[in-house]
Every structure is written in structure tokens, then in C-alpha cells.
Chains A and B, each alone.
Chain A
Amino acid sequence: MVHQYKNNGYNIVLDVCSGSVHVVDDLVYDVIALYEDNTPEEIADKLSKYSKEDVLEACDEIGQLKEAGQLFTEDVYKDAIVDFKKRKTVVKALCLHIAHDCNLACKYCFAGEGEYHGDRSLMSYEVGKKALDFLIANSGNRVNLEVDFFGGEPLMNFQVVKDLVAYGRSQEKEHNKKFRFTLTTNGVLLDDDVMEFANKEMANVVLSIDGRKEVHDAMRPTRNGKGSYDLIIDKFKKMAELRNQTNYYVRGTFTHHNTDFSKDVLHLADLGFKQISMEPVVAGPDMDYAITPEDVSKICEEYDLLAKEMVKREREGKGFNFFHFMIDLSGGPCIYKRLSGCGSGTEYLAVTPWGDLYPCHQFVGMEDFKVGNVDEGVTNTEVVDEFKLCNVYAKPKCRDCFARFYCSGGCAANSYNFHGNLTDAYEVGCDLEKKRVECAIMIKAALAEGGE
């Protein structure tokens, strides 16, 4: 399967099943579209604007790539996924809901202002310790274990965060494990002590900010209704600098109300942030801020604008990293990872403050999806098996999609929330993901070409 598209003046050809990417001239671009169903002579007849000699030359180059397994390759992975899924999976990442409470009242919070539609609650050290023990015991021979301190707002329970990090470190040597702790925070309680601790212990820190002050304040008010931008911005700048502008993200959410979100990304870049993530809100159609199918074309234009601007800034030595345009064409994940996706429900579990286990943070609070708890481990194997079988070939909408090896079938929670099952796909999310993959590859093409 070949996906060909034009973006920012580049003719790009992605050979989906090999992952090979080619930048081609107009001639080859037109010939490739006809190559599989026509002889070279027939193509020359159909493309009379080119000389026959040129068309035959193009066919020859295309043929060489096909021969080398870099064009028109077949999908040979379907059988591999069967074997892969038979293998015993291990747990290697936990999202610890260290606090089901929050000092902000963000309007789009899928956790219902941090409480996950339940009571406010903080995780105790004992529950957290059991969670880490569970992770160690169920991680097989995996060395790298990931633990994200999430919420609500985890800094509302900071002492437990510190104590759990200390406990995790104390277990590493004995069990031959390496914990990668991460922290996701809204910044309200960020102070010098937290920064010092986080910069020593956290492999990554996610700092929540939506971009421009008016955009941020409209969606991320405090509990008394005031904007929170001024409370956090200087602290985030300081934090980013202390981390040498690496191993962190300022991460925002854009909504129907700011589909011109490239301005928010560039606002953050102009403030000096180098690691930026900005995601479309996920919300049901009954919410006024939900992304609508009609927003998709505007959002895609924004991705194009952003991609072009990033190329320009990179060439000027002022580049920054945008999470959703990251793509590693030569050293990316193996096919098994690409087929099996994010690992929710199998490799990745969320832990509530009272120790219940869920397939991921977005399923927390949905009783049917509870898979166990930190005392007994995973007991609901039926749900886990359902997630285990979640892969791109189990999803009819993904089978013929060119982006299937980049998003790996998309987010299970999105599928469930919009369609009531795990093997569907959230169409708006798909459209945006496809656009992001196209932009990401275009950026690679532009930068490989050098400055202009």
C-alpha cells in the first residue's frame, strides 16, 4: 500500500508496509499513481504531458524501489500479531492517581475536576507501595518500569510522591529494575522544593498550560473562577530552564473555542519553551467546547501552518519540538509495538487512590473496566484479554489506513467513549492523526533538503 500526498511543495510517497519514505518529482508522483495497474507504455499514453522517455525512466526508478522492498510492499504482519498476542504480557507502566482532587476546575477535565466522578481522595503511601510492588512482581524481565504521578493534581499529595520515589529507588538494585518516574502537574503548587526534587528524580515532567493567557484562563480557572495563567507561567519557565529545556513538556489542550491553536503553540515557543505538546480535547458532542467534524478542516490547516513555521524556525536556529510531529523514520518502534498500540489494559494500568486497577487513566471510574486491585492483582482477565486482542487488525477502520503503523489503532478510550466498543475508531481523532503524520514526514523532507 502506498500513500502519496503533496504538502508544502513536497511530493511525498509513503510505502505504508515497509515504512519507507520517498520525496519525488511531479513525474514520478503521477507515475506512481498508475504504476500498479498499468504497463509503462499505458502510463506513457495516459501521461501525455511527459515524454515517453521520461515516463519509462520514472518507471525504471520505481521498479528498482519495488525490487528493493521499499515501494508497493505487502502487509506481511497479520500472522505475526497472532503469535505476538499469544505471548504472555507483562505490566511495565503504571499511572498512579496520587490525588483524586484538584486545585483547578478545568472545564474539559475528563476526571470531572479531578475527582473522576467519585469522592475526593488521596492515595496513601501504603497503597502506592503495594502498587510499586505489584509492578515489580508483574514486570517479568523488563528492566525499565514507568510510573507516572497523575491526578487530579499530584502535588496535592506531594509527600506521598516523594516517599514512593524513595521506596521505588530502594527496590531497583535488588530486583534489577530501573524506575522512570514522571509527573504531570498544573503548576499551582510548584515551588523550589518541588522543582529540585522533580529535577533530581523525574525522567519527564508534564506541565499543563493551554497557550495564550486568554485561552488558558477561559478553560483552566481556579476553584474560585479566576484564571490560572499568571499563577503558573513564571514557574513553568523556570522549570523548563532548570531542566535545560529537555525532558519535559508544556502540554495543552485545544478545543472548539481555539481551533487557531497554532497561535497557542507559537505563544509557548515565543516564551522560550522548547518541548511543546498540544492536543485536541476529547469530549462528547453535547459539550460546547467539543471538536466537531466541521472543525477538522480548519484544524488541519492549522497543523500545516504550524509545520511550515517549525521548518522556518528550525532553519533560523530557533527550532522547537512539537510532540505530535515527532516521528523517527529510521529508529522508531518495532512492528510489534506498532501493531499492539499503547499497551493500555496489558502493559499499562492506572491505579486509583484506593488501589483499584483500570486499563488506563481514561477508564478510571467505569466499574465494568475495573481489572483488579493492588492486593489481589489482575483478577478480571476477561477485560484484560479484550485489551490484549486490541490491535490494528482487530479494527475494521484501521486495516486499510495508511497511518495504522503510526497511531497503532488509536486510543481505546476514545473508541469506547464514542462508539461503545474497543475496536472502533474515533473518526475526528483519526482525521487529525493522519494530518499530523503527513506534516511530520513533510518536516523531515524539508529539513533533509537543507536550508533554502
Chain B
Amino acid sequence: MNMNGNNIQECEVDIMKHIKTLTDKTLKNTMEKGGCGECQTSCQSACKTSCTVGNQTCENK
């Protein structure tokens, strides 16, 4: 686990000579199963004066 609680092994293995892909997950794939709304509300964590949605974790188990 890294400092942000995410597993570094999520990163893709480098198969290209010039490009290393950190994540090949596409947001488009979340269109089908997303929108359940169980995830945390962003302002309830540690901000209260800004919007930081991108760091939330999906809770659609």
C-alpha cells in the first residue's frame, strides 16, 4: 500500500518502449454500473471549503 492507501500493483506493466501506462481503467466503463450513490460525500471528510471529488473511493461492491 502506498501513502494514499491505494495499491501500487494496480499500475499496468510497461509493455511499450516509450510509454508507461499508470492506469488503463477508463471512466467510460463506469457509465454502466455507476451512480449507486453509496460513496462518501466529499465535504464530509476533510475539506469543507473546496471540492475534491476525484480522491473519493468507489463503494459499489
Contact = CB atoms under 8 A, between A and B. Distances in A.
Contacts of B42: 341-343
B18 A333 contact: no
Interface stretch (A113-121, A216-224, A402-410): A402-410
A28 B18 contact: yes
Contacts of A443: 3-4
Contacts of A70: 21, 24, 26
Given A23-B22, A347-B37, A342 B43 contact: yes
A261 to B, nearest CB: 14
Interface in A41-91: 57-58, 61-62, 64-65, 68-70, 73, 76-77, 80, 84, 87, 90
Given A19-B26, A319-B3, A343-B41, A206 B17 contact: no
Interface in A110-157: 110, 142-144, 146, 148
A62 B21 CA distance: 11
Contacts of A413: 49
A310 B3 contact: yes
Which label, helix, strand, loop or mixed, suits the secondary structure of the A interface?
mixed
A437 interface: yes
Interface residues of B, number: 51
Interface in A262-294: 275, 277, 279-282
A18 B41 contact: no
A144 B38 contact: yes
Contacts of A144: 38, 40, 59
Nearest to A330: B10
A239 interface: no
A68 B24 contact: yes
A411 interface: yes
A17 B38 CA distance: 23
Contacts of A80: 31
Of all A-B residue pairs in the complex, the 7 with the closest CB atoms, nearest first, are A334-B34, A406-B54, A326-B55, A334-B30, A249-B46, A93-B41, A277-B46
